[in-house]
């Protein structure tokens, strides 16, 4: 039979097939060939002996969170507790864009900001919209629900950002575990421990465990550059320009006006990190 893996807990892969769930084990061949089943995998399985037989070719996959065949990723970003990190947001945008997954920005905890702090955030919102991204707040429930239709989505982002809280708000019957963030660290406590695809509003949506840091894995400096979508619009004269130490670079000329300074600074940090590999 064929189905889709919607949950993995240690060695138990829950496969959804025709609205039925089968808890299957991967066979030895997967361990030998170093292929790890992931949530999102389309599989063939033996429904009597409850074994996975084969994993179909993946459209895309992420290492963290470990998921495959994703259409879009909601980057859940808190503006306070934990504080807004343009660096983490740009890093996630870069990685997700590179994997050909549509990013959707979703900001949380705007209620914790004063008016002045909110204005600063609105400035960021309008910039990210200007360069082509969809931007929501976690109070835009109806708009978020509409995005689920016919798609496979993941909620990703820092631990404590409010991924599970938002999913519970969308469907209170989910009763996903959420937790107060640790006051001392201003960080989440990694409340969600596994990835699970949930059927919601005619789509599949995965809650995933948060993280405190994430890496570029197998991306090159050029890959990082090309995922900064607004750079290409500046018509830099030189096709292979890294917009770094080159002179006469149109990207550098557009800083602070067409290009947000924090975006460019994060870009430089990212390619410098690659240099140190
Ligand atoms: N004030 C405020 N608190 C929020 C909001 N969204 C979430 N929280 C709180 O933030 C804390 C962390 O929320 P979770 O939903 O557990 O965060 P998570 O992203 O699922 O965290 P992990 O599972 O560890 O990755 C909880 O105490 C929530 O009540 C919000 O919009 N405003
Ligand atoms: Mg969670
Ligand atoms: Zn350039």
Tens-digit pLDDT string for the chain (277 aa): 999 999 999 889 999 999 999 999 998 777 777 788 999 999 999 999 999 999 999 999 998 889 999 999 999 999 999 999 999 999 999 999 999 999 999 999 999 999 999 999 999 999 999 999 999 999 999 999 999 999 999 999 999 999 999 999 999 999 998 986 555 455 556 788 889 999 999 999 999 988 777 888 889 999 999 999 999 887 787 788 999 999 989 999 999 989 999 999 999 999 998 777 6
Burial state string for 59-94 with b = 16 or more CB within 10 A and e = fewer than 16: eebbeebbbbbbbbbbbbbbbebbebeeebbbbbbb
Q: Structure tokens of 65?
A: 């969170």
Report how far residue 251's alpha carbon sits from residue 115's, in angstroms, rounded to the nearest whole number: 32
CA distances from 77 to 22, 55, 80 (A): 34, 32, 9
Which residue is closest in CA terms to ligand 1's atom 3?
Answer: 109
Beta carbons within 10 angstroms of residue 162's beta carbon: 25
- Residue 244 Cβ contacting ligand 1 at under 6 Å: no
Report how far residue 265's alpha carbon sits from residue 59's, in angstroms, rounded to the nearest whole number: 32
Question: What pLDDT does 190 receive?
Answer: 77
- Residue 108 Cβ contacting ligand 1 at under 6 Å: yes
Which ligand 1 atom lies nearest to the CA of residue 81?
A: 10
Could you give phi then psi for residue 157, rounded to 5 degrees? 145, 175
- Residue 162 Cβ contacting ligand 1 at under 6 Å: yes
Ordered structural domains, the chain, with CATH: 2-57 (2.40.50.140), 62-207 (3.40.50.300), 221-275 (1.10.40)
- Residue 94 Cβ contacting ligand 1 at under 6 Å: no
Instruction: From 76, 179, 194, 214, give the residue whose CB has the most ligand 1 atoms within 8 Å, as the site to mutate.
Output: 179
- Cis status of the peptide bond prior to 65, with omega within 30 of 0: yes
DSSP category for residue 247? S
- Residue 65 Cβ contacting ligand 1 at under 6 Å: no
DSSP category for residue 13? E
Which residue is closest in CA terms to ligand 1's atom 30?
Answer: 109
Question: What pLDDT does 47 receive?
Answer: 95
Report how far residue 45's alpha carbon sits from residue 13's, in angstroms, rounded to the nearest whole number: 11
Which residue's structure tokens are 């990082």?
Answer: 224
Instruction: From 64, 73, 140, 165, give the residue whose CB has the most ligand 1 atoms within 8 Å, as the site to mutate.
Output: 165
Task: Give the residue from 38, 4, 36 showing the smallest Cα distance to 21.
Answer: 4
Ligand nearest to the CA of 243: 3
Which residue is closest in CA terms to ligand 1's atom 14?
Answer: 162
pTM score over 0.75: yes
- Residue 141 Cβ contacting ligand 1 at under 6 Å: no
- Residue 168 Cβ contacting ligand 1 at under 6 Å: no
Ligand nearest to the CA of 160: 1
Instruction: From 160, 163, 182, 194, give the residue whose CB has the most ligand 1 atoms within 8 Å, as the site to mutate.
Output: 160
Report how far residue 172's alpha carbon sits from residue 32's, in angstroms, rounded to the nearest whole number: 41
Question: What pLDDT does 273 receive?
Answer: 87
Report how far residue 160's alpha carbon sits from residue 219's, in angstroms, rounded to the nearest whole number: 27
Measure the CA angle with vertex 16, ends 12 and 17; round to 5°: 130
């Amino acid at each position: 039979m064929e189905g889709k893996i919607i949950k993995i807990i240690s060695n138990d892969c829950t496969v959804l097939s025709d609205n039925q769930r089968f808890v299957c084990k991967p066979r030895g061949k997967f361990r030998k060939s170093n292929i790890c089943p992931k949530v999102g995998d389309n599989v063939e399985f033996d429904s009597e002996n409850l074994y996975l037989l084969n994993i179909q070719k993946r459209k895309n996959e992420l290492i963290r969170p470990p998921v495959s065949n994703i259409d879009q990723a909601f980057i859940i970003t808190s503006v306070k507790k934990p504080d807004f990190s343009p660096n983490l947001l740009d890093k996630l945008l870069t990685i997700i864009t590179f994997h050909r997954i549509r990013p959707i920005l979703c900001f949380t905890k705007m209620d914790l900001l004063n008016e002045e702090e909110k204005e600063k955030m609105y400035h960021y919102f309008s910039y990210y919209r200007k360069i082509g991204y969809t931007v929501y707040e976690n109070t835009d429930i109806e708009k978020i629900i509409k995005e689920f239709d016919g798609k496979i989505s993941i909620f990703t982002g820092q631990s404590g950002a409010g991924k599970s809280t938002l999913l519970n708000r969308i469907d209170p019957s989910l009763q996903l575990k959420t937790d107060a963030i640790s006051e001392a660290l201003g960080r989440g406590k990694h409340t969600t421990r596994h990835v699970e695809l949930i059927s919601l509003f005619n789509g599949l949506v995965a809650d995933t465990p948060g993280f405190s840091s994430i890496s570029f894995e197998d991306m090159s400096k050029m890959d990082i550059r090309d995922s900064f979508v607004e750079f290409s619009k500046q018509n830099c004269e030189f096709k292979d320009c890294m917009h770094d130490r080159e002179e006469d670079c149109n990207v550098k000329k557009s800083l602070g006006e067409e290009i947000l300074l924090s975006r460019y600074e994060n870009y430089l940090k990212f390619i410098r990190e690659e240099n140190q590999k």
